[in-house]
Amino acid sequence: MMEDLSLHVLDIVENAVAAGATRVRISVNENAARDVLVLRVTDNGRGMSAREQARALDPFFTTGRKRTGLGLPLLAHTAEICGGRLTIASGPGRGTSVAARLPLSHVDRPPLTKMAETLMTLFFGHPETDFLYRHTRNGSLFICLRSGRKGGGTAPREIIALRKRLRRGLDRIGAS
């Protein structure tokens, strides 16, 4: 089991990028009244057939050469041990949406933690990808849009500014 959900986010978003996505939407929705945390990653990559979706949940199934095939099964496991579940909506050429729904207050629910660091890793690891991060926490909303650009190249001051924006935004909604 991974000790925080942000590591799962990292893995699921890497899947999207590996599937050729140019746009990735990451959303986190924490709702204490409904006792639920929903994590969703939606991409415009190549998508999967129904058969591929079923196989993707088998441990060690992978279409990547240097990968292990544990990303999705691990997140499914994390969701299931606390009474939640993972769902995949996808179709060839239609992109993919992976959603994990977890009971917010369950003792075995891993914390999000390190979300700002995870987003920095993703944004700067994939400078040409468009990212939309949307985090709702009990009615408070933080949105961060990062447009990808050709060539990548990011100045240190932009990195610092983005990290500040992420930290402040997550702090403001009490999600850091």
Which residue stretch of 57-65, 122-130, 155-163, 168-176 sits at the interface with ligand ATP (rule: CB under 6 A)? 57-65
Structure token digits, residue 64: 């990547």
Are 95 and 45 in contact by the 8 Å Cβ rule? The answer is yes
39 binds ligand ATP (CB under 6 A): no
Q: Rule CB under 6 A: say whether 48 interacts with ligand ATP.
A: yes
CB of 163 to ligand ATP, least distance (A): 26
Stretch that binds ligand ATP, among 62-70, 103-111, 123-131, 137-145 (CB under 6 A): 62-70
Q: Is 42 in the site for ligand ATP (CB under 6 A)?
A: no
User: CB-wise, 88 or 104, nearer to Mg ion?
Assistant: 88
Please name the helix (run of DSSP H) or strand (run of DSSP E) that holds residue 170, with its range, or none: helix 156-172
Written as one string, the DSSP assignment of 84-148 is: -EEEEEE-TTS-EEEEEEEETT-TTPPP---HHHHHHHHHHH-TTSEEEEEEEETTEEEEEEE--
Which of ligand ATP, Mg ion, none does residue 167 bind (CB under 5 to 8 Å by kind)?
none
Residues 170 and 120: beta-carbon distance below 8 Å: no
Q: Which of 40, 71, 118, 162 binds ligand ATP (CB under 6 A)?
A: 71
SS3 state of residue 6: helix
Q: Is 76 in the site for ligand ATP (CB under 6 A)?
A: no
Q: Which residues pair with 85 in a beta bridge?
A: 101
Q: Interface with ligand ATP by CB under 6 A: which residues?
A: 11, 15-16, 19, 43, 45-48, 56, 61-64, 67-73, 96
